[in-house]
Chain A
Amino acid sequence: METIFCLLHTDTDGSLPKAALETLGAAKSLNAALAGSTLVVGLVGVDVQSAANRVASCGAKKFVGAAGADFAQARYATDAAAAEALCRSVLATVVIAPATSRWSRVLPGVAQRFNGRADTHVTGLAVSGSAVAINRWYYRQRMEAQMSRTQRPWFLLVDPGSQPAWQGEAGVAAVEAVAVNLPEACQRTTVTGLREPAADAQTIRPDANLLFVTGAGWTKKQADGQTHVPEAEKLIRDFLNLTRASLGSSKSLVDLGGEGQAVLAFLTHLNQIGQTGSTPRHPKGLSTCCHGEEPHTVGWRFISERRAISLDPNCGWARGKADVLYVADAFAVMKRVNELLAQKAG
C-alpha cells in the first residue's frame, strides 16, 4: 500500500507556485487510481500555513510542514534536510514533487539518503496493473518511455506544464509541524540574491502563448552582401513588444558571440532552445532564420503548433518538423508582421 507524499515548497511570498498545484493534481489522480493508497501533503517554506489552507480541500489524509527562516532560501543543505525529515515523518513510499529548480536541485540527493530512487522530467503518471508507472523522455526528448520501479521511496519530479492544475476550495488545514535538524554545516552556503534582466528587457516568458525563435541567419550577410544586425534587433524587439512572445534562439546564434562574430545583444544561453538548451512549453512556436536541425528541434517537443520562416525549402522544418514553412526572407516578412500588429494594436 503506497503512501503518496505530495511534497511542495512555497514561493518567497508564501504562495504555492503553479507547478505545485499541477503536481497536486497528478498526485490526487494517482491516489484515486491506486487502490489502498494514502495521500499526504508536505510543505516547506518560511510559513506554510497559508499554502496549506490554499489546498486544504484536496483530500489529503494529513498535512505536514517544515517551516522557518532557514527555509526562506533555496539552498541544498537546508532543503534536503527538510525534505528528508518530512519524508521520514510520513514513511513516504512515492514522493511526488514539482520539477522546480528548487526541488530538482535537492530531491535526487534526498532519495539517496533513503537508498531510494528518483526519476525526473515526469510527464505522465498512471497505474499499470497494480503498480505506479510513469512516462518520461530520453535522449533529449527523442524517445519516450513508460517505466515502473520496485525501489521505495520513489521520488518523482513532475515537469511543470505537463499536468492540469488542481482546482479546489481553500479552507483551514491542520498542519503537523516537523522538526528539522540543521547542523552548522548546513549554513556554509548563503543565497545572496537574484540576477534578472530589467522587467522590460526580460525576453524569457514561460507563460507566453508564443515562442519566437531566432536563428543564426539574422546575423548573416543578406542579399546586398551586408549584415543588418541593428535592423534585426529592432525587428525582433518590436515583435516581442507587440506580441509578448517568449524569445528563444538556436545554439549557433548564441555561440557566435564566443567566436567574436556579431550577435543580437539581448540573447544569452538562457534563450537557447534544444540539445543544450531548454525544452519550453508553449501552444505556438514561430521559427525564423533557423535551419531546424535535430539538435535544435528536440527543444520544440512540447510546442503544439509550429511555423517557420526560412529561405531554404529543404531545411529541417520542411521534413515534418513544422506545420507550415514559409520560404521567404524573414526581414521582409517580420517587418510587415510588425506593421500589421501595430495597426491592430493601434
Chain B
Amino acid sequence: MSSAFQIVVCGSLVPDPLQTLEPVTGPTGPALKNEMMLPAVLDPWASHALYEAANLAKKAPGSKVWLVSLGPKAKLQQVMMTVAQKAPFELVALDGPASGFTDAFETAAALADAISAIPGLDKSKLLVFGGWESASRGAGVTMQVIGERLGIVDQFQGVDELTPNPDGSFQVLERIEGGRHQISRCAGAPAVLGWATGNLPEPKNNPQVGMVNMRTVMPALQKAKPVKVGAEGVTYASVTLPKQQRETRLVKDASPDDIAREIVEWIRQ
C-alpha cells in the first residue's frame, strides 16, 4: 500500500467572528442582516483541517491537497486571497449560498458530487477532511453525510491528531467527553476526518505559495459550478438573538482583599 494520500478538504465561508450578527427574514427563509457585506473568513475548524492536510501531504511524498469550497463566488474570491497564502492546494469552487440556515444534507450532496467529479481521484488514497462543525450551522453533520454518499465507513470526528504509518495505516486521536481522546488505528484510506483544532499553529502567509495557488484558484473560481442549496422541508418558526443582556455591576477601586472575600462567598453559595 502506498503511503501517498489524496486529501480533499471541505471548507466554506463564515462571517468574521468579530462581526455582530443579526438574523433577518429573507425571501427564502432566515438570513443574516447585510450578509453579503459582512467580511468573511474560511471556517475556523475547516482551516485547521486545511493546515493539517498540508502538513500530512508534506510528510507523505506524492500526496496532493484539494480544497472544495461552497460559497458565493465573489466572497470565495475575497477569502481565497488570504487562504491561498497559507498552504498549497488546488481549489474546487462551487457557487452557492454559505448560510448557516441551509440544510447540511443539501450542502453535503453538493460537496460529495464535486469530490466525485475531481479528475483522477483515486478512492483508495482518499482522505476527506473538514471541520467537525462549521461556525455557521454548527451541526457536525455534513462530513458524515459526505462520507456516506462516497461509501466511506471509516469516519472520525473531533480529530486532533493523525499519525501516518509506513504501511498506509494511520492512528487517529478523536475528542471524547471529559477532556479525553479516543485512540484508533485505521487500516488506511479511504476515510473521513472532521477536525477539531489539531496541533498546528496557523501558518504565516507565504506569498510564494500564494502565487502558485492563484494559478489554479482564479480559473477554478471562473468555472465555479452554480449549485442550488437550500433547506427543503424545513420550517423556521423563529430565529432570535438571546434576550439576556446582563446589567453588569462594575466593581472599581475595591481592595483585592474585599474582592476576594466577595468571590469566595459567591463560590460557596
Chain A positions near chain B (C-beta within 8 angstroms): 74-77, 80, 100-102, 104-106, 108-109, 111-113, 117-121, 128, 133, 137-151, 185-186, 188-197, 202-206, 210, 243, 255, 258-259, 269-272, 275-277, 284, 286, 293-295, 301, 305-307, 309, 313, 317-329, 332-337, 339-341, 344
- The one of A104, A139, A275, A328 in contact with B100, judged by C-beta atoms closer than 8 angstroms, is A139
Given contacts A206-B178, A333-B256, contact A105 B237 (CB under 8 A): no
Contact indicator A147/B147 (Cβ below 8 Å):
no
Majority SS at the chain A contact face = mixed
In the assembled complex, B139 has its CB within 8 A of some CB on chain A:
yes
A120 to B14, CA, bound (A): 19
Contacts of B234 in A (CB 8 A): 147-149
Majority SS at the chain B contact face = mixed
Given contacts A101-B177, A306-B246, contact A326 B235 (CB under 8 A): no
Contact indicator B247/A320 (Cβ below 8 Å):
yes
Q: Tell me the number of A-to-B contacts counted with CB atoms below 8 Å.
A: 268
- The one of B105, B246, B256, B263 in contact with A286, judged by C-beta atoms closer than 8 angstroms, is B263
Given contacts A202-B178, A276-B197, contact A185 B246 (CB under 8 A): no
Q: A293's closest neighbor in chain B, by CB?
A: B18
A16 to B173, CA, bound (A): 24
Q: Which of B1-41 contact A (CB under 8 A)?
A: 14-15, 17-18, 20-21, 23, 30, 32
A194 to B180, CA, bound (A): 7
For B, the interface residue count at a CB cutoff of 8 angstroms equals 91
Contact indicator B183/A336 (Cβ below 8 Å):
no
Contacts of A186 in B (CB 8 A): 153
Contacts of B48 in A (CB 8 A): 276
Contact indicator B144/A328 (Cβ below 8 Å):
no
Q: A150's closest neighbor in chain B, by CB?
A: B233
- The one of B177, B186, B202 in contact with A206, judged by C-beta atoms closer than 8 angstroms, is B177
Contacts of A137 in B (CB 8 A): 138
Given contacts A121-B138, A139-B21, A326-B254, contact A77 B246 (CB under 8 A): no
Contact indicator A204/B139 (Cβ below 8 Å):
no
- The one of A128, A243, A269, A294 in contact with B18, judged by C-beta atoms closer than 8 angstroms, is A294
Contact indicator B183/A101 (Cβ below 8 Å):
no
Contact indicator A133/B237 (Cβ below 8 Å):
yes
- The one of A76, A117, A149, A301 in contact with B242, judged by C-beta atoms closer than 8 angstroms, is A301
Q: Which 8 A-B pairs have the closest CB atoms?
A: A258-B201, A204-B179, A336-B260, A109-B144, A332-B256, A108-B141, A295-B17, A112-B148
